[in-house]
Each structure stands twice: as structure tokens, then as C-alpha cells.
Structure 1
Amino acid sequence: MQESLTRDTRLALDLALTVRHDGHGGVADDLADPAGLTTWVRAHPDTVPDTDAFAADQASLTAVRDLRAAVRTLFAHAVRPAGPSRADAARLLPVPEAVARLNAAAARTPTVPVLHWPEDAEPAVRTRAADGVHDLTATLAQAAIAFLAGPDRQRLRACHAPRCVRYFLKEHPRQEWCRPSCGNRARVARHHERHKTDQGA
């Protein structure tokens, strides 16, 4: 399924997933410092021209982290009435502030539509910076806007398995968790909870 995601959906999800479970009951941040952002951008060649030469500084890190907070707030808004990721529950922005932050970031680089039509594929429209100058935060914000306004948003869910803080796209009607390992943890937790309740009765 991952291969069929649009560029915008993939970028928006991948940005949100830089907040993750650390494997020890806490939350890890892949964008904790400029080196983390540099690594992440270099793994996403669609974000800036000459990705291999990209080197984040503190200003670009702050801008991307501020944008990520807005994106995760809007993801939490999108999954209602279900609850947000537990990593977000106590730090959500007001929705109007998140929308304003996203729109302001997207406006940092004016874009124009460009037609791509490979010989063996359907035509597709992508955007390109109008003046040839790309802003990383604008690229990520524009991807998030396209995702949030597009059909994939309807499949967005927060994984509520123990210790998980991920958002994911629901791929089939019975899917409740982002990964099979999360489903296993949730079933084990339910079993322990029932066992504890039975013993207390």
C-alpha cells in the first residue's frame, strides 16, 4: 500500500511519524536536533532540490517542528470523534491556530502547476516553486494541505495500541492498529486487563 500513496500523502504522514514510540514506553523525536532533520530530509528526495547537499540549521529545525505541531493537531482533528495520538493529547494547538500556521508556511514559496506525463502512466500535476527557490517548510505544508483536503484523509486513524503514538491510513474495514505488532500488544493488554478483573471479582 505504501507504494501507491501520493507524494503529498507520504510526506504529510512521514512528517507526523517523526514523533514515535521509543521502544521503552516513552516518545522519541526524530527531529530533536538539526542533524535529525538533515537525515530525514535526505531520506525524502522530494522535499528540496539537491537533497544530498541539504544541511539543516536551528532556524529550519524550529520552522519544521512548528509546522509538525500544526500538522499533528490537524491530524488529531481529522480522526475525531476518535481520540488523538497519545503523544498529542496534552499539546494540541487550537485548530484555527494550526490552520493559520499551516497556511502561513505553505505561502512561503509560491508554486505553479507542472504537468508530468510519463510514456507508460497517466498524466499527473505536480507543483514547482515559481521562482526556482524552494522552502522546505512550504513544501511540507503544501503536502499536508493536499493530504488534509484530499480523499486519503478519510482513512486517517490514530493507533491506540499500548505505547504507540502513530497515525496511519486504514487499509481495510477491520484494521484497528497501524501494524500487526501493535495489534498483538493491544490483545495482550486486553487479556491482562480481563485476567486482573477476573481475579479481583
Structure 2
Amino acid sequence: MKESVTEESAVPPAPGEEEHPCLALANSAVALPGGHVVDLLGSPAQANHWLTQRGLAPVDAGMRDMCASQLRSMREQIRSLLASRAEGLPGLPAAVAAVNDAMARVSTAPLLRWDERSGPCRVTPHPVTAILDHALAALASDAADLLTGPDAERLTACGSPPCNRYLLRHGRRHWCSTRCGDRARAARAYARRTRSGTA
């Protein structure tokens, strides 16, 4: 079951999200107890809000369904690469290609077009498409930096099921939030009590 909520009512940022927006993107669909999922990119307005909060789009960017869908697709590709890195497995070639494509897609100058009537001219892509392409390129570049930089050694999945978020571990802590840490400790205590009661 998916819930539509604002970022303010969702869980707090996981460690590392503020330094790496790609980590925040990967964590923008949060699995909660009871089978609930909070998707911060569930609608174009939510996607626009999420990008605006990170300085990647203006408030009035006018994201469309296609834009939100592309952002969610990038989220899944980055999640795949983070999971591979955290588990010490090879990254999926399709995910690597998607990140590279997003970085390469951004043009630094208006492109040359040749109109049959008026001849050569320089054109800029549609503004919303350009905003989204720049945002996707920034997120993809950040993912590449995270995966190849010193923080990659600290990348881990939250250790409190059913949470599906990633974080940068500090010391031994491997929970994305106090709530997840409390839930994991309570589960361990319950398991100890159950074992000692049956022994």
C-alpha cells in the first residue's frame, strides 16, 4: 500500500543524505512496518517539491507525470547500484548505463538545428525537460562520486527490517534513524526473552 505524504511528515534524513543527494533520492520511497510505503516522488508535485528542497529545480518548474516517472526510474537505478556496492556485488550494467546516460545527456550550450525555411539556428531544449535533465545529471554525478569515493566504504543498508533505506555508517551504527534503532533493539530484546522463556 502506497501512502502519499509530504516530506515533512516522513522519516528524518538518513546519515549521509545531506552530503549526497543521490542517497536522499534512493531513500525517497521508504518501507514502513505494516507494509506501508512512503513515496516522496509519487506525483509530479511531490517530485517538484523534492527537487526544490535540494536546490535542483525552481518551485514553479512544472514537473509532469513523465518527469516524475523519470526521476523514480533514476531512483531505482541508483538504489540498484547502492545495493550492489553495499553487498560487494557487481553493479547491473543497465544501472551503470542509466547513470552514465544521465550525466552525458546534459548539453552545456544551445544545440544547432537546421530549419528548412530559416536555415541554421541555436535552440535550447524545453525548459522543464532541461531542468529535469540537469537534476538527473547532478544526481547521477553524485551517485558516481559516492560509489567511487571514500564514503563508499561506509555505505550500508539500514539494519532494521522492513526499512529499505541506505546510509553512511558512523562507527558501528547501522540504522537510518533513532526509530529504526529502537525497533531493532526491541526486536533483539524480544528474541532474547523468547529464547530464555523456552529454554
Q: What TM-score, normalized to structure 2? A: 0.72
Structure 1, 133-142 or 151-160: larger mean CA deviation? 133-142
Q: CA deviation at 1:158?
A: 0.5
SS in 1 for 2:59: helix
Partner of 2:95: 98
Unpaired runs of 5+ in structure 1?
A: 83-93, 113-130
Give the superposition deviation at 1:101: 1.2
Q: In the aligned structure 2, how far is the partner of 1:6 from the partner of 1:160? A: 17
- Give the aligned CA root-mean-square deviation in angstroms: 2.8
The corresponding residue for 2:40 is 30
Q: Do the aligned partners of 2:48 and 2:59 also contact (CA within 8 Å) in 1?
A: no
Task: Give the counterpart of 1:16 among 1, 26, 45.
Answer: 26
Cα distance between partner residues in 2 of 1:22 and 1:176: 17
2:52 aligned residue? 42
Q: 1: CA distance between counterparts of 2:75 and 2:17?
A: 19
List gaps (5 residues or longer) in structure 2.
1-12, 110-124
- 1:111 and 1:168 map into 2 onto residues whose CA distance is 32
2:180 alignment partner in structure 1: 182
Q: CA deviation at 1:68?
A: 0.7
Distance 1:22 1:191 in 2: 20
Match of 2:3? Answer: none
What SS does structure 2 have at the residue aligned with 1:157?
strand
The 4+ residue runs of structure 1 with deviation greater than 3 A are 21-25, 131-134
Structure 1 Cα separation of the partners of residues 36 and 17 of structure 2 = 31
Q: Deviations over 1:89-148 (max 9, x none)?
A: xxxxx7111111111122110459xxxxxxxxxxxxxxxxxx995422222212221222
Work out the CA distance in 1 between the residues paired with 2:88 and 2:181: 21
Which residue does the alignment assign to 1:138? 137
What is the aligned counterpart of 2:62 among 47, 55, 68? 55
> Which has the larger share of helix?
2
| Pairs aligned (count) | 165
Cα shift at 1:197: 2.4
Q: State whether residues 17 and 23 of structure 2, in contact with CA within 8 Å, keep that contact through their aligned partners in structure 1.
A: no
Secondary structure (helix, strand or coil) at the match of 1:27 reads strand
Aligned to 2:106: 109
Residue 121 of structure 1 corresponds to none
Q: Is the 8 A contact 1:26 1:163 kept in 2?
A: no
How far apart, in 2, do the equivalents of 1:98 and 1:174 lie? 29
Percent identity, aligned pairs only, is: 33
Structure exhibiting the larger radius of gyration computed from Cα positions: 2
